[in-house]
Amino acid sequence: MLLNVEHSINTSIHYGEKLAGRKQFIRWAMAGNRIVECPRFPGDSSGFNDIEEYIKPDTHRVEVGKIFIQAVPLKRLFEAVDELIKKDPLALLCHRIDCERCHEMKRVYPMR
């Protein structure tokens, strides 16, 4: 369920990317006086709004005053993410040239 936000905030799509086999990142964090590896770090979500047209028939949306609520069945969301990524490994990536995470994906999958 999304409350007054678009799919660029939909963190479930990150999990769908992982299920679809999209490369995950490794990040590092300072923990006291040591560096800790953080594997399976998700990519950028700025391009996630592209999924809307694919799941719109399965999305239930209501407006309550000035806000909107969207309910999306996770099974269908994960299927859509998988379909899109299998069809185009660059699907759901953002189009910003300064995005390091999406740029890395485009380097790994230079298909366009």
Instruction: Copy the structure tokens of residue 55.
Output: 């799941």
Map out the domains of the chain as residue ranges.
Answer: 2-108
pLDDT band for position 111 (50/70/90)?
low
More confident residue, 24 or 33: 33
pTM: 0.82
Assess contact for 25 and 41: CB atoms under 8 A: yes
pLDDT mean across residues, the chain: 89
CA atoms within 13 A on the CB side of 21: 9
Q: What is the pLDDT of residue 43?
A: 78
Q: What is the pLDDT of residue 112?
A: 46
Of 39-43, 94-98, 108-112, minimum mean pLDDT range: 108-112
The mean pLDDT value for 30-45 works out to 84
